A and B are shown apart, each in its own frame.
Chain A
Amino acid sequence: MQDKKYNLFWNIIFVLIIISICFGVYYASKRVDYIWRWERLWQYFVYEDVTNIRTPLAGNVEITDNKIKVIPMQGAEPYVVKTFEKAHVNDGDLVFEGDVLASSSKIKAGPLLTGLYMTIKISLVAIFFAIIIGVLTGIARISKNPALKKLAVTYIELIRGTPLLVQIFIFYFFIGTVLHLNRFTAGTAALAVFTGAYIAEIVRAGIQSIPKGQMEASRSLGMNYFQAMRYIIMPQALKRTLPPMAGQFISLIKDSSLVSVISITDLTKSGREIVTSTFSPFEVWFSVALLYLILTSSLSFLVQLLERRLSESD
């Protein structure tokens, strides 16, 4: 209880430290003559895409019941615009070929959002396949069959012993060329295979943490090995492995930024492109980091919910 007394004090200290770090960043940017232009950034989230409608011929404009008609002087067929949002001409105006008659605009997702979408898509597909690869390899890893076991060990050691960046290059330039994979498939496959190796080790540890008696009880009831695994061992093992799995999925989301090296326009690559056109690296990279943080923290929130639901039997 002695500790509790000072809690408020230390919480204030925490807030002060955070504030001073923020101020430090701001001050540092002032020292290098950096001009913050947050307002420029919004267009990279969403922007208004304006399409102009131009007249292909010269003539007089006539506006009747929401239609713009251009009537040429020589009495040829008139040019009619039926759908538009904003008229740029008035009734009776004289227009020449190429003049803007009207415009319509659409709200479109900017590169930051499309990049975010690509990152989510890559991550979800990779997580899905990583789980399948990981669970199968994890079971093979503890199999009594030497071929299965050694294959699993070789795969795990190979993947864990080489950098992901190199694996992505190998997947894209070698395997991708041989099997005619597109960028997305190659990048996602590299991520899934990489994460699968780590999940395999997590699954192995999870299975081995289940007491031997569980398998014996299942087998003594007449279940075969696969039934025992499916109904008794795996449900318990997967529940135990949920926290380390979540950590691995979060790593995968972050590691997905590496696929930008094979020209997949994910969040990171979008960020780099925006920096080259805005010269506002601070704002862009802070925003990109924040978007990754939102992704990873919502994932860990989901996993926590799942954990709570599964802990009913504890």
Chain B
Amino acid sequence: MIDNKKIIIAKDVVKTFPNGVKALKKVSLEVNYGEVVVIIGPSGSGKSTLLRTLNFLEPINDGEIIIDGISLTDPKTNINKVREEVGMVFQQFNLFPHMTALENITIAPITVRKVSKSEAEKTAIQLLEKVGLADRATSYPSQLSGGQQQRVAIARALAMKPKIMLFDEPTSALDPEMIGEVLEVMKTLAREGMTMVVVTHEMGFAREVADRVIFMDEGEIIETNTPLELFRNPDNERLQKFLSQIL
């Protein structure tokens, strides 16, 4: 039943918020190992909600989600264990303001993975080098620019050595001149073969990096295609309208 090639399987996922809003109406999604999937769509289309259900930050009302062979909807599953394998990057960065960049990155490996402090710091410094912030290890988030904060947040998620990275509009809260530096880090990750699901409005990124682009509207997946096809011949009316507004 479990397909070895699929790292994410979401089947008929239904999410209704307590206020009655139907955010997801029977959404199904499958992601292969090493695949980069970009989800686009107008605001309120449920794309962020879908992403957040994939590590169960948003519990679902119906359907099934299987991450790397483990069902999140199974009550016996330890969600924390699954979350260790799924990194997440938020729109608002959500760095821990009372910790330095280095401590932000080491706290989870030390407390959750029980890695020794020295080893965690070694990995953290490598990751900071990777995102181009090796000199800011002792800075507090308040001393970093938005782009730098988001890059630290990516390093923080990577420190857990996740199998999947989820990006929830990672550049939407950034000033335009800082978007590039964050996208550059994400492109590097994609090239290294990381499985990524990205909610974004950056069509350039989708076109360049994505293996597949998914268009969502009103809680449903309207169209799935390679970026080339999807942007060249959008055959859905709503997608055409969305693309004409955004491009």
- Interface positions of A (Cβ within 8 A of B): 211, 213-214, 216-224, 227, 231-232, 235-236, 239, 312-314
- Interface positions of B (Cβ within 8 A of A): 55, 57, 80-81, 83-84, 86-88, 90, 92, 94-100, 107-108, 111-113, 140-142, 153, 156-157, 160
- In the complex, are the beta carbons of A220 and B142 less than 8 A apart? no
Q: Which residues of A contact B113 (CB under 8 A)?
A: 222
- In the complex, are the beta carbons of B112 and A222 less than 8 A apart? yes
- In the complex, are the beta carbons of A223 and B80 less than 8 A apart? yes
Q: Which residues of B contact A218 (CB under 8 A)?
A: 96, 108
Interface of A is mostly: helix
Which of A217, A222, A236, A312 sits near B80, CB closer than 8 Å? A222
Q: Which residues of B contact A220 (CB under 8 A)?
A: 55, 57, 83, 86-88, 157
Q: Which residues of A contact B99 (CB under 8 A)?
A: 313
Q: Which residue of B lies closest to A212 (CB)?
A: B94
Q: Which residue of B lies closest to A238 (CB)?
A: B98
Q: Which residues of B contact A239 (CB under 8 A)?
A: 98
Q: Which residue of B lies closest to A228 (CB)?
A: B111
Q: Which residues of A contact B96 (CB under 8 A)?
A: 214, 217-218, 232, 236
Q: Which 6 A-B pairs have the closest CB atoms?
A: A222-B84, A217-B94, A221-B108, A213-B94, A220-B88, A313-B140
- In the complex, are the beta carbons of A224 and B80 less than 8 A apart? yes
- In the complex, are the beta carbons of A221 and B97 less than 8 A apart? no
- In the complex, are the beta carbons of B111 and A235 less than 8 A apart? no
Q: How far is the CB of A140 from chain B (nearest CB, A)?
A: 22
Which of B94, B100, B156, B157 sits near A214, CB closer than 8 Å? B94
- In whole angstroms, how far apart are the Cα atoms of A242 and B145 in the complex? 28
Which of A227, A231, A313 sits near B97, CB closer than 8 Å? A313
Q: How far is the CB of A106 from chain B (nearest CB, A)?
A: 51
- In whole angstroms, how far apart are the Cα atoms of A124 and B179 in the complex? 52
Q: Which residues of B contact A236 (CB under 8 A)?
A: 96-98
- In whole angstroms, how far apart are the Cα atoms of A199 and B201 in the complex? 45
Q: Which residues of B contact A232 (CB under 8 A)?
A: 96, 107
Listed by A's residue number, 6 A-B pairs whose Cβ atoms lie within 8 Å are A214-B94, A217-B95, A219-B83, A220-B86, A223-B80, A223-B111
Q: How far is the CB of B100 from chain A (nearest CB, A)?
A: 8
Q: Which residue of B lies closest to A216 (CB)?
A: B57
Q: How far is the CB of A87 from chain B (nearest CB, A)?
A: 67
Q: Which residues of B contact A235 (CB under 8 A)?
A: 98
Q: Which residue of B lies closest to A230 (CB)?
A: B111
Q: Which residues of B contact A217 (CB under 8 A)?
A: 88, 90, 94-96, 153
- In whole angstroms, how far apart are the Cα atoms of A155 and B194 in the complex? 51
- In the complex, are the beta carbons of B83 and A221 less than 8 A apart? yes
The residue in A220, A231, A314 that gathers the most chain B C-beta atoms within 10 A of its C-beta is A220
- In the complex, are the beta carbons of A313 and B108 less than 8 A apart? no
- In the complex, are the beta carbons of A221 and B94 less than 8 A apart? no
- In the complex, are the beta carbons of A231 and B94 less than 8 A apart? no
Q: How far is the CB of A69 from chain B (nearest CB, A)?
A: 72
A227-B112, A231-B107 known; A219-B57 Cβ under 8 A? yes
Which of B98, B100, B141, B157 sits near A221, CB closer than 8 Å? B157
Q: How far is the CB of B68 from chain A (nearest CB, A)?
A: 14
A214-B96, A313-B97 known; A222-B108 Cβ under 8 A? yes
Q: How far is the CB of B109 from chain A (nearest CB, A)?
A: 9
- In whole angstroms, how far apart are the Cα atoms of A239 and B100 in the complex? 16
Q: Which residues of A contact B140 (CB under 8 A)?
A: 312-314
- In the complex, are the beta carbons of A221 and B90 less than 8 A apart? no
- In the complex, are the beta carbons of B160 and A222 less than 8 A apart? yes
Q: How far is the CB of B234 from chain A (nearest CB, A)?
A: 33
- In the complex, are the beta carbons of A221 and B156 less than 8 A apart? yes
- In the complex, are the beta carbons of A223 and B108 less than 8 A apart? yes
A227-B111, A227-B112 known; A216-B98 Cβ under 8 A? no
Q: Which residues of B contact A224 (CB under 8 A)?
A: 80
Q: Which residues of B contact A231 (CB under 8 A)?
A: 107, 111
Q: Which residue of A lies closest to B58 (CB)?
A: A216
